[in-house]
Each structure stands twice: as C-alpha cells, then as structure tokens.
Amino acid sequence: MYFRVGGIPSDRPCKTKACITIDFDNTVGDNLWVWRADHGDNVGWDRNTCENGIIINGDNVTMYALMVEHFNGYQTLWNGNGGTCIMYQSEVPYDVPDKKQWINPDGKRFGYASFKVSDDVTSFYAVGLGVYLYNRDNSIPMYCAMEVPDIEGVHVHNIITAYLNGFPGMKCVINEAGDSIISPGQTSKILDYENGQWR
C-alpha cells in the first residue's frame, strides 16, 4: 500500500493528520510506503502538512517493510502491545523552517524521533531499522532516531542511523544510547537494545 500527502498537480495544498491509523488487533502489513511529499506542487512545511505517517493502536500488529518519510512529527507512532516490525526505513523531514517548529513534545529536545514506541507499551520487537538525516534546507538538530520504553519486554535488533548531508546531525540512536553522527557520511549502529542495555 502506498500513501502520499501532497506534491501532485493541484490548485491547493493537501493536508491530513495521519496517512494510516491501525486500530484493529492482529493486523499484518507488508510493504507500506508512507510519504509526505518533498517535491511537486504545493509542497512545503506549512502546505502539505501531516503530523504522523502511521499510528498503530492495535495489539499484536506486525509490519514487514515499513517505509515512512518526511512527516511533521513522529514518522511512526506505535501505541499497541505485542507489536513486531521487521525492516523499517525512514528519512526525517528536511524542510523544517526553524528549531521552534521541530521540538519534541516533552519540550526539552530538538527533533522528533522517527519511530516512537509509546511509554505505556510493555511488549514490542523490531529488527532491521534504518533512519537517515538529510539536512538539505536547514541546520536543525535531531536528538535520536528511536524512542522506546526502557523495559525488558521492548527489544530492538540491528538499527542504524546515517547522516547524508548538512549540519548539525543526530545525538544518539535509541533514547540515550548509540554514538552521535555529526558529519556527512557518518553512521551509528546498535546491534541489540533492551531495558536500557545496548551493544
């Protein structure tokens, strides 16, 4: 399934709150490309707006090959328990106009994580995630690629961040864990993360 917000020939901007929201339990998604357009007609931070690409509220949801890019807030917001994500690719937005419009909801950090597992989730598993930063139009800092609860039931395998262009980069990979990427070409990897422990 493919989703696109804006960037098609039109005489007015295209706006929505989320491309897809999954409320049902035991749902399986395979090859979802969820995209807020970064080129085309009527494209811009305040023109083709969409806060989240995908919101998952159901329990025991499985996603294979989930690709989510350029949204105004969290790219992926996972609220359900027992979820599994196998292969995730994301480029965060590069048309953020200034730091004031790219602040984490806690009000303390710049940049929304690409993938947010909600604080009340007790079980979640993900493997094979890649999040990359391309600061084409700005110099907006980003704190981390993924936020998860630091509990035993939330487990992430093999996540990598990459910095393609611009300044100033990304501080860490998951929560406070992982090396910073601060110059083009740098990557940072975490092989295994659970309960605040990582390698």
**pLDDT value for 109:** 80
- Is residue 139 pLDDT above 80, yes or no? no
- Is residue 12 pLDDT above 80, yes or no? no
**Percentage helix, strand, coil, to 5, in the chain?**
0, 45, 50
> Whose structure tokens read 């979640």?
124
**pLDDT value for 37:** 93
**Could you say which of 69, 91, 152, 176 is catalytic?**
91
Cis peptide before 168 (omega within 30 of 0): yes
pLDDT-derived band at 28 (thresholds 50, 70, 90) equals: very high
147 is catalytic: no
List the one residue out of 155, 189, 186 whose CA is nearest residue 83: 155
DSSP secondary structure letter of residue 108: S
Q: Is the Cβ–Cβ distance between 91 and 70 less than 8 Å?
A: yes
- Is residue 38 pLDDT above 80, yes or no? yes
Percentage of residues in the chain having pLDDT higher than 90: 73
Report pLDDT digits (tens) over 55-83.
999 999 999 999 999 999 999 999 999 99
**pLDDT value for 54:** 98
